[in-house]
Amino acid sequence: MGNRKGLGLHLIFVCGFLFAGATYTCLGDGNTSLTVCSEKERLALLKFKDSVEDPSRMLSSWIGNDCCLWEGIQCDTVTGDVVSLHLMGNDEGYLVGYEVMSSLAELRHLKSLDLSGNDFQGSRIPKFIGSLKQLTHLNLSQAGFQGIIPPHIGNLSNLKVLDLSLGKRTWGLRVDDMAWTSGLSSLEHLDLSPVYLGEAQNRDMLFYMIPSLKVLNLWGCRLFDSDLGPFRNLSRILPNIKHLDLGFNSFNRPLPGFLQNMSSTLTFLDLSNFNLSRTWNFATLLSKIPSLSELHLSSCGLDKTHLSSPSYNFSTLSNIRHLVLSQNSIEGPFPSVFTNMSSLRVLVLSGNMLNSSLPIIPNLIDLDLSFNQLTGPIPTHLGNLSKLDLSSNHLNGSIPESIGNLATLTYLDLSSNWLTGPIPTSLGRHISLQFIRVSSNLLNGTIPVSIGQLAKLQYLDFSNNSLEGVVSEAHFANLSMLTYLDTSSNTKLRYNISRDWIPPFQLVSLLLRSCNITNRFPHWLRNQRNLHVLDLSNTTISGHLPTWLRKMPIIGYLDLSHNKLNGPLINLPNGETYGRNYKFPILFLENNFFNESIPTSLCRRTDLEYLDLSRNRLIGQVPKCLENLQHLRTMILSSNQLSGVIPSFMAPNSLERLKLNDNKFIGELPRELGNLRVLSILDLGNNKLSGNIPEWFGATLSYMRVLRLHKNNFTGRIPEYLCKGSNLQILDVAHNNLKGHIPRCLGELNAMVNDGGYRYSAPPSFDSDENVDQVMKGVDLEYTTTWDMVFNMDLSSNQLVGEIPVELTALSLLVGLNLSNNHLSGGIPDTIGNMSELNSLDLSGNELTGVIPPSMADLTFLSHLNLSHNNLSGRIPTGRQLQTLIDPSIYEGNKDLCGPPLPNNCSNPGEHPTTSKKKNKAAEEQINVLLLYTNIICGFVTGFWGVIGVLLLKKQWSKKLFKFAEDMMENIYVVVMVRVAKIKRGRDAA
């Protein structure tokens, strides 16, 4: 959308007007001056220059006494007045400021002002612009403004072009009253897309108060049905309009009647997201507005019935040159109506459900059928296309050599199909080709050297195929305009490029993931001054990082993971980012052999959002300067040899993922972790952390999905505030020294209950290697791309006592439950069969008694079960999934169990295979032991309170005394239960 609307507008700004007395043309540099600009205006411009940051040196020419010679300035050749200020930003460079300096108000003779594409950091559009009464062209689009558009703009009665559009930069620019538009009596071009107009007064004035309008863009402005009339005088509704964009608003009514009054002038119409399915069909719309040459009806609910009307007026159809019907419900064979549209040049049907073979429409120059279900091979005859997009279909066969006959082809996208065979050498004949993407197919063979002759090629993507052979300098010989190169995931492709080679191009993105690179780190990259994205992961490179890498100016996304790089990390690029799209600050260095400590130079990357240094050999403590990384969303330092306490500064408020597992951290958790309100993953497993799980932890659980404290030295109880984790899907506190009962409220963890309610979804990860380690099915498993579908609770290998809370059986989404190696007693809950998704259940190494509940046979997904080393009795249930679990070790150590798969049969289904004498003796022995320890406990309690109970009169000591008494009682209780268990096991052995 931006291309089709922006091109004409910029031509208007650059070449569309001639100032009285000016001698500049579009072909000249516009800097030849016959007179010197005024000192007042020169100083005003210098004040503006001082108020902005200019990292790309756009204003480097603003020196000297004659501002008429400065870049972006045009002056009247007679008076020397500044009449034009054009400072358009783009991806290569733009200005950064916090406001537009009011000094520009001194440019009283200014007729054209263009500050588009810069970044004014959410500041307001300045009111003084309304005082520049000579303005005819004002472009503040995509410049980072927000807030209310000042009504003072309505004072610009000479204004012909006004562009305040936001593009992809959705700052909160809005209007509270559209009455100011009535003062723009000369306005011909107005673009407010997608400025928020949903609460503005007098919105209807846009349609009848500016009769001079020829272009009106209101895309995505959140207008409503009431804004479309009814109007009393239809003759006043945009009488001269040629270009009308009402797409993607909140319209649900039939098409407005005033469109019929535009039938003689309207050539461009965008009604995308209108609900046309129940009102008008395609033929009716064309008959109402026969003057249309370009029509956009994306997401309008159209299906094949709307395109099969017998009432088509073919003379009307012949006027349409550009037709967009993407994201509708058009299914089945390719509609024949399009073959009757003799003037049709551009056809976009992406995102439908077409399932036939490819059509042939001879007159088309631009065809987009992406994201359909097209089948069969690519035809050998494709007409005279200059753009062809067939991506994301089901096409098969090879790419025909005849594709080289498309002499004007500039854009080719065949990605995400089932194409086989080699890349045709005829592609090298397309001297106009600028874009090639054939990724994610089944292509094989070598990359043709002829590709290196495509002098206009800018974008090349051969990734995710089975290409092989050697890539050399010859493949890039004449690619002087190449900015994007991706050959990732071709594991047999080998780059063999000379160390001294100087490329003819300046890349912005280079992705060679899972290819083979020889001669260590590619030395030819040292001259790439525009490189922002660099992915050399899994490319077999080794050795140290080169020193010249440190001087690379703008690498924002750097992935060197899964290689054999070693040494220190001191040569990382400095990360300066000059382009808006370059602000993608991500650093992947995992799975290498980097040693030494984390360098302080890394702290200069204050823009970093994603940092992964895991699975290296880093040592020492975390440097304090990491507190400078205040924009960090993900920090992964796991699987190194880092030591010391977890520093308090490792907790920027923006952090969403923190993984420090498998290191040597010690001590208690810093309280600052409680400030991480958006934290979704916290993995501190396999360290030497100690202390209680802190109470303030509960405040951080609103978005927490993974809490892993596995294998540390945490003590105390499992705190009940963990039950507040409504999004918690993995809770792993196994292998610690936790004691007490399992909180019953853990059965209320909403994310583990299949209640059909809303559950928070964590932000997507940039890292395909992001993983969560969990013990499932009795072994350590690493979940990567599927971890977010794992629901697991692991409380094993602690000192937990009491019964298994029946409330846990309400966690119907749990895939794994591990309570093994504790001191749990009582029976297995009868409702265990309610845990319908359970795949792994481990209750071994406890003191559980009673029978195995028959409902366990209802666990149809259960593939791993361990009930060994308990005191279970009776017959093992049969039926369903339990019939497949035939390993006797599942039940070993339970002497009173009987039935398959154990060898001892049950002689009487209601009788245990032990004599009543043994049972009575065991019961008597257990009672005696319990009475003995009960007497000990009572004696201790009496003595304790008799000696020091009086101290409780001092209130400041009371809290500590109660805590001490509680812990002591808990420890004694654990000792008693352990002793009872030993007596039982001794009895069983006898």
Q: How many Å apart are CA 87 and CA 116, to the nearest integer?
A: 7
Question: What per-residue confidence (pLDDT) applies to 212?
Answer: 92
- φ and ψ at residue 31, rounded to 5 degrees: -115, 10
Res. 6: pLDDT tops 50? no
Chain centre distance of CA 280 = 38
Percentage, residues of the chain above pLDDT 70: 80
Predicted pLDDT of residue 224: 86
Task: Supply the DSSP symbol for 750.
Answer: G
Q: Confirm if 384 and 361 have CB atoms less than 8 A apart.
A: no
Q: Which two tokens stand for residue 564?
A: 């054999």
Residue with tokens 């407005």: 256
User: What confidence score (pLDDT) does residue 315 get?
Assistant: 60
Nearest CA to 446 out of 476, 466, 419 is that of 466
pLDDT at 134 (0 to 100): 95
Q: What single letter denotes the amino acid at residue 752?
A: M
Measured distance CA(791)–CA(798) in Å, rounded: 20
Residue of 131, 172, 120 whose CA lies nearest to 149: 172
What global pTM score does this model have?
A: 0.80
Q: How many CB atoms within 10 Å of residue 660?
A: 24
Q: Parallel, antiparallel, or unpaired for β 353-354 and 516-517? A: unpaired
The pLDDT tens digits of the residues spanning 219-246 come to 999 988 888 877 767 778 888 899 999 9
Higher pLDDT, residue 389 or 776: 389
Burial 183-213 (b: 16+ CB within 10 A, else e): bbeebbbbbbbbbbbeebeebbbbbbbbeeb
pLDDT of residue 94: 87
Confidence of residue 279 (pLDDT cuts 50, 70, 90): low
What are 544's two structure tokens?
A: 């140290």
Find, among 627, 727, 622, the residue nearest to 679 by Cα: 727
CA–CA distances in Å: residue 178 to residues 130, 147, 207, 218, 840: 15, 15, 11, 13, 63
Convert the pLDDT of each residue in 72-84 to its tens digit: 999 998 899 999 9
Q: Which residues of 785-807 are buried (b: 16+ CB within 10 A; e: fewer)?
A: eebbebbbbbbbbbbbbbebbbb
* 900's tokens: 């398959």
Asked whether the predicted pLDDT for residue 964 surpasses 60, the reply is no
pLDDT at 448: 95
pLDDT at residue 790 in the model: 81
- Highest-scoring range by mean pLDDT, 246-255, 627-636, 648-657, 695-704: 627-636
Is it the case that residue 472 has pLDDT exceeding 70? yes
Two tokens at 140?
């503040």
Give percent of the chain with pLDDT exceeding 90: 52
3-class DSSP state of 449: helix
Cα R_g (the chain), whole angstroms: 36
* pLDDT score recorded for residue 424: 94
More confident residue, 772 or 681: 681
Residue 584 CB coordination number (10 Å): 16
The model's pLDDT over 502-548, given as tens digits with 9 standing for 90+, comes to 999 999 999 999 999 976 899 999 989 888 899 999 999 999 999 99
Q: What is the 3-state secondary structure (H, E, C) of 242-311?
A: CEEECCCCECCCCCCHHHHHHCCCCCEEECCCCCCCCCCCHHHHHHHCCCCCEEECCCCCCEHHHHCCCC
**Higher-confidence position of 358 and 471:** 471
> What pLDDT score was predicted for residue 382?
84
Q: Of the candidates 682, 835, 807, 695, which has an alpha carbon nearest to the alpha carbon of residue 744?
A: 807
Q: Which of 427-441, 742-756, 876-890, 930-944 has the highest mean pLDDT?
A: 427-441
**What letter would DSSP give residue 729?**
-
pLDDT at residue 14 greater than cutoff 80: no
**What's the confidence (pLDDT) of residue 380?**
86
**Per-residue pLDDT, 954:** 46
How do strand 792-794 and strand 586-588 relate by DSSP bridges?
A: unpaired
Residue with more model confidence, 298 or 579: 298
| Lowest-confidence pick of 144-153, 810-819, 913-922 | 913-922
Select from 747, 752, 708 the least CA-distant residue to 727.
Answer: 752
The pLDDT of 127-149, averaged and rounded, is 93
| Least confident interval from 148-157, 381-390, 586-595, 764-773 | 764-773
Q: Which of 570-574, 768-772, 777-781, 800-804 has the highest mean pLDDT?
A: 800-804
8 DSSP 8-state letter:
H
pLDDT at 869 over 70: yes
> Quick one: which H or E segment has residue 984?
helix 955-989
Identify whether the C-beta of residue 541 lies closer than 8 Å to the C-beta of residue 563.
yes
CA distances from 651 to 664, 722, 760, 926 (A): 19, 20, 22, 51
What the block records as the tokens of 53 is 């940051």
pLDDT of residue 675: 82
Single-letter amino acid code for the residue at 893: G
- The yes-or-no verdict on residue 452 having pLDDT over 90 is yes
**pLDDT at residue 985 greater than cutoff 70:** no
- Asked if pLDDT for residue 15 goes beyond 50, the answer is no
Place of tokens 């089948």: 375
Integer distance in angstroms from the first to the last C-alpha of the chain? 84
pLDDT on residue 235: 73
Q: Are 518 and 494 in contact (CB under 8 A)?
A: yes
Residue 504: other Cβ atoms inside 10 A: 15
- Report pLDDT digits (tens) over 608-630: 889 999 999 999 999 888 888 88
**675 and 697 in contact (C-beta within 8 Å)?**
no
Q: Read off the pLDDT band of 9 (50, 70, 90).
A: very low
pLDDT tens, 315-330? 666 688 999 999 999 9
Q: How far is residue 825 from each of residues 848, 850, 981, measured CA to CA in Å?
A: 5, 10, 10
**Bridge partners, 420 (sequence order):** 398, 442
DSSP 18-44: --TT----SSS-S---SSPPPHHHHHH
d(CA 444, CA 277): 44
pLDDT tens for 89-126 read 887 778 999 888 889 999 999 999 999 999 898 899 99
The per-residue pLDDT for 912 is: 43
Q: State mean pLDDT over 804-810.
A: 94
What is residue 777's predicted lDDT score, i.e. its pLDDT? 56
Beta-ladder partners of 435: 411, 459
* Side-chain half-sphere exposure of 758, counting CA atoms within 13 A: 3
- In total, the chain counts a number of residues equal to 990
**Mean pLDDT of all residues belonging to the chain:** 83
